[in-house]
Chain A
Amino acid sequence: MDLQSSETLQITCEEDLVRVRQATRARAVLLGLSLVNLTKIVTAASELARNTLTFGGGGTAIVATVHNGDRPGLRLIFEDHGPGITDIELAMKDGYTGGKGLGLGLGGSKRLVNEFEISSRVGEGTRVSITRWK
């Protein structure tokens, strides 16, 4: 699997969330993702980018085209240097929220993509990587 082309976006304000969504959408269109899959990954990107902003205090999003053999896919990596997540299992649970949201962001994003990886260290930050194959 090689990381072919990618772009890095800063997430520091609400307008940046729009930029992340647009970059994700543009790349998904380029890859020829179906409308349903496109909507799913854009929605997941929106959730995770917002988490990066709200809970991580801002960070970066990498939008990349990846290949698994012949199969192209879209990978997004969100990183922040915020407080980190104490209990990832709890955070993934539907209905649990660290703020005022619905508590569906993390769990919901996982259901919207093919691959979902999360790692977090308290005091150091959080990194979430999602992939949607074509």
Chain B
Amino acid sequence: MGLESNSKLVEVLGEKGRVSLNDWKEAQWAAIKIRREPITEEELYREASDFMSLFQQAVKEAFLSDIRDPVWLKMREMLSALSISRARRGFTPTEMATFVLSFKQPLFEALKQAHGTDSGALLSDVWMTTVLLDKLGLYCVEEYQKTREAIISRQQKDLLELSTPVVQLWPGVLTLPLIGTLDSERTQLVMERLLQKIVDTGSQIAIIDITGVPTVDTLVAQHLMKTIAAAHLMGAECFLSGISPQIAQTVVHLGVKFGDIVTKATLADAFGLALKRIGLVVIKKSGE
């Protein structure tokens, strides 16, 4: 789809064009100025000028409504970078799309003046540009979405990594403070880490603390029991601590039997027992 012969689009965008960059900038600034913090006026103005000059270049070169064309490469790169930076700063998708879509108003105004009474030509120009700007606007939203998804998936991975540290409390005593949901993928990772660390440190005792686990259902219980059984096989003793009253009652009703697994209400209790098992006693300094 190319421009009609009587199109004035290139003309209004040209050097002596009538599209008022200032008006557009002002309108943009007014739309998002409530959130002054994440963006400065200068920054917005610079972005707006960049957009307009890239738009001019692309239109001058060849007006193509397919924004995947190489003509639009620089524009796509610019919008993509803009979307990424705005997504990180917490802009909404609407604000993101408005950046592009609001360009219609000053552009249409200029076209109207350029075409005068020739409404047929005006309509054709308006239609061409509206299709194009809508595509660029949607492209922005898509890029924005991609960035957000990338952020979310990174955070999920972070959580998976973060919440499974195996900590050495004392030479020979390890603890695994579990926090949050224990679904299959995470539990697998947790189990492997603990067993590996038992080997690496030659620990005799491992304490699994579930203070931070809100729900212990049969699957979670099963995972815990398997981990503890595996630790036993490797010659380490495993205690379970941090069982809150509500979890204790729920587990009883559920019918889960932890059997001969040593359980303690708090991590402190379990640590005390661990010290005892490895033959250590905590003594208060005399005279204090």
B249 adjacent to chain A (CB < 8 Å): yes
Contact A111 B249 (CB under 8 A): no
Chain A minimum-CB-distance residue to B220: A46
Q: Give the number of chain A interface residues (Cβ < 8 Å).
A: 25
What class of interface size applies to chain B in its complex with A? 20 to 34
Q: A131 CB to closest chain B CB, in angstroms?
A: 15
Contact B247 A39 (CB under 8 A): yes
Contact B215 A94 (CB under 8 A): no
Known: A18-B183, A101-B222. A108 touches B246 (CB 8 A): no
Give the residues in chain B near A50, CB-CB below 8 Å.
217, 219
Residue among B183, B184, B219, B221 having the largest count of chain A Cβ atoms under 10 Å:
B219
Contact B218 A104 (CB under 8 A): yes
Known: A101-B219, A102-B222. A36 touches B246 (CB 8 A): yes
Give the residues in chain B near A18, CB-CB below 8 Å.
181, 183
Chain A minimum-CB-distance residue to B186: A14
Give the residues in chain A near B184, CB-CB below 8 Å.
14
- What is the CA–CA distance of A42 and B249 in the complex, to the nearest angstrom? 13
Contact A104 B214 (CB under 8 A): no
Contact B218 A36 (CB under 8 A): no
Residues facing B in A95-112 (CB within 8 A) are: 101-102, 104-105, 107-109, 111-112
B67 adjacent to chain A (CB < 8 Å): no
List 9 other contacts, CB 8 Å, given A39-B246, A104-B256, A111-B255: A36-B245, A36-B250, A39-B214, A40-B249, A47-B218, A94-B255, A101-B222, A102-B256, A111-B253
